[in-house]
Chains A and B, each alone.
Chain A
């Protein structure tokens, strides 16, 4: 697969070489659209429930969503493969430079796009500038009905009204695994842990791992020729590869 790194533009090449530590491969051909990843993500990351009305008006706060499209004109409509859409953890993210408060930053250690909730003032420029439209804003102080407050994940901050949030590639799991490996004096093994969405996927359509390790499953899968990265032409260097029509 020809990537941006193959281009002869030095900056792009440099950025492409520097970027990417954690990555994901999503196989749309085996995705059943069951939404287990959406539910698991909400549980793991304390993503709030906005209710029917707000959700219907486009205020759902899922960090991962299943996009479905139809092709053709009625009555000859054909459904396209389900497309799980989440933060692509771009190596050259458009959301980062536009935040006036440095709430949207690039982590050097994990090579991920981070959202610093307590620094966010809610200008929503990052969400506007995200070509994947995967950022969620806390439009209200949504109340969780009982017994939902009992299942908060203590490793993840609960966000309040007026801040932006988005997929973190379950950074709390990354850190847990890294801490464990460090205490045992070894490197993190591929497949030792995974994100909530990948863990919950009954079809194993989502694979997560180190993209900078050529031996990892995610790197091996990523080499398949029918892999595409969404909106790669914008130069965002996304770290999620999609398979469709393999």
Chain B
């Protein structure tokens, strides 16, 4: 009897922690607000009068973009690639590092909004838009970076298949041509995929704004009124895109990796580069997504309601798993190359670890493996926004180093030892900072122009979730809405 009583007491104590309030506090999906109020909150967060801090940051970023990105680019075009650090044998430098880096960042958007949507991961709902914006803005930087790299950028259109009198087409044997086609496809499809779920939200904004904003949202909303038929069409379109964009996402970074893997260079001719690059892209992408979400939560009004610790906890788990997957692929890539015993590859691996840039190799491993594993295993730390955000920044530093090691450091070692020489970056550094500034600037402007929270998606999720009481037990139920 005593045992039984103890059991009930214990169970009761347990339930103390699982009351309805407890659930509501923890989970956005179980904490519904009236729809009108939620819409107003999102509108307010967007229309809130910018503080002087906002303008100061915008001013600094604009200066960086104008001077470091566009003015320096003019210098680069006028004077040639000699103002950058590239030379023989490092024909490829930081511009391509940045290209791969930004394409990697762009992968998180699709991963979060397409894959998590397909798998019905409910925690995705409040930040799909923030992630999709990252995809589009990241790809813009990637495009800029690859054009900076070209020796004669004013002839970039020659890489496009367009009808011309000389019947010259781009060389479809070249991985760079595949790359261009893949990135263009990805940019177009991810922009469309950003736009589709935006339609109900801009329609909501249209109904709640005046002046030029009204015209702006009216144009974007394409006359969406929220009828049954419109929702059916929109859902169908989003479903098609969600499934179709996943293979596009996988193919893009695989093809980026083929730029290297298809080349005859020690360290590059690796069959595992495709999945290794995809996992690396997700690693940096999730890291960047969590930084963006943490910043939005800290700076924008009402965002603490929409973005909660549960979301950081969920992304933190994903980051931890992706970090483990990255470690697996890194080890696999390293192990097979080392075991292969090719003398050039062995030289290269030795150069990675013990060469003058060896510190970067070790920092990469610390940033990409040690830090995420040491911090993200702990549920409490994982749910702390600033901490997870810091881990996100550290992962991105590590992933940038990874690309730096793969490109300029690896091409230092080739089969002609006479040409070995260490790469010293020049104008690439300020121009790379310029792309980062442009990314942040675009994001800050977008946060004032479009609803960063897909409010209809949150409301849909909240309608599907319900708290029910079975006896003394409060349980969460989810119904299928679609």
A residues near B (Cβ < 8 Å) are: 54, 57-60, 65, 67-69, 83, 85, 94, 97-102, 119-125, 127-129, 131-133, 136-141, 161-164, 231, 234
Chain B residue numbers with a CB within 8 Å of A68 are 418
**Is the pair A119, B414 in contact by a Cβ cutoff of 8 Å?**
no
Q: Say yes or no: A122-B152 contact (C-beta < 8 A), given A98-B175, A131-B415, A137-B91.
A: yes
Given contact pairs A121-B153, A131-B265, enumerate 12 new A-B contacts (beta carbons under 8 Å).
A57-B421, A58-B89, A65-B418, A69-B417, A94-B263, A97-B173, A97-B174, A99-B171, A120-B151, A124-B86, A137-B81, A139-B87
List of 7 A-B pairs having minimum Cβ-Cβ separation, nearest first:
A122-B151, A162-B151, A139-B82, A140-B82, A58-B87, A162-B152, A161-B80
| Complex: A68 Cα to B416 Cα, angstroms | 11
| Complex: A69 Cα to B420 Cα, angstroms | 12
**Is the pair A234, B171 in contact by a Cβ cutoff of 8 Å?**
no
Interface of B is mostly: loop
Nearest B residue to A126, CB-CB: B91
Chain A residue numbers with a CB within 8 Å of B173 are 97-98
Interface residue from B81, B88, B416 paired with A136 (Cβ < 8 Å): B88
**Is the pair B158, A101 in contact by a Cβ cutoff of 8 Å?**
yes
Nearest B residue to A141, CB-CB: B80
Chain A residue numbers with a CB within 8 Å of B262 are 98
Chain A residue numbers with a CB within 8 Å of B81 are 122, 137, 139-140, 162
Chain A residue numbers with a CB within 8 Å of B175 are 98, 125
**Is the pair A100, B159 in contact by a Cβ cutoff of 8 Å?**
yes
B400-423: CB near A (< 8 Å → 1, else 0) gives: 000000000001001111110100
Nearest B residue to A136, CB-CB: B88
**Is the pair A140, B80 in contact by a Cβ cutoff of 8 Å?**
yes
| Complex: A141 Cα to B170 Cα, angstroms | 26
**Is the pair B91, A102 in contact by a Cβ cutoff of 8 Å?**
no
| Complex: A100 Cα to B176 Cα, angstroms | 6
Task: Name the interface residues of B189-245: CB closer than 8 Å to any CB of A.
Answer: none
Chain A residue numbers with a CB within 8 Å of B88 are 58-60, 127, 133, 136-137
Nearest A residue to B171, CB-CB: A102
Residue among B170, B174, B180 having the largest count of chain A Cβ atoms under 10 Å: B174
Interface of A is mostly: loop
Chain A residue numbers with a CB within 8 Å of B86 are 124, 137, 139
Chain B residue numbers with a CB within 8 Å of A60 are 88
The smallest beta-carbon distance between B340 and chain A, in angstroms, is 14
User: What are 27 A-B contacts defined by CB distance under 8 Å?
Assistant: A58-B419, A58-B421, A85-B418, A100-B170, A101-B158, A121-B150, A121-B152, A122-B152, A123-B149, A123-B150, A124-B86, A125-B259, A127-B88, A129-B264, A131-B414, A131-B415, A132-B415, A133-B415, A133-B419, A136-B88, A137-B81, A139-B82, A140-B83, A141-B79, A162-B80, A162-B81, A162-B150
Q: Say yes or no: A121-B151 contact (C-beta < 8 A), given A99-B171, A100-B170, A101-B158.
A: yes
The smallest beta-carbon distance between B212 and chain A, in angstroms, is 41
**Is the pair B171, A231 in contact by a Cβ cutoff of 8 Å?**
no
The smallest beta-carbon distance between A47 and chain B, in angstroms, is 14
Query: How many residues on chain B are close to A (CB under 8 Å)?
Result: 45
B251 at the interface (CB under 8 A from A): no
Chain B residue numbers with a CB within 8 Å of A128 are 91-92, 263, 265, 411
| Complex: A69 Cα to B418 Cα, angstroms | 8
**Is the pair A122, B416 in contact by a Cβ cutoff of 8 Å?**
no
**Is the pair B158, A122 in contact by a Cβ cutoff of 8 Å?**
no
B390 at the interface (CB under 8 A from A): no
| Complex: A102 Cα to B180 Cα, angstroms | 15
**Is the pair A133, B414 in contact by a Cβ cutoff of 8 Å?**
yes
| Complex: A1 Cα to B197 Cα, angstroms | 68
Q: Say yes or no: A98-B80 contact (C-beta < 8 A), given A58-B88, A163-B151.
A: no
**Is the pair B91, A121 in contact by a Cβ cutoff of 8 Å?**
no
Task: Name the interface residues of B149-165: CB closer than 8 Å to any CB of A.
Answer: 149-153, 155-156, 158-159
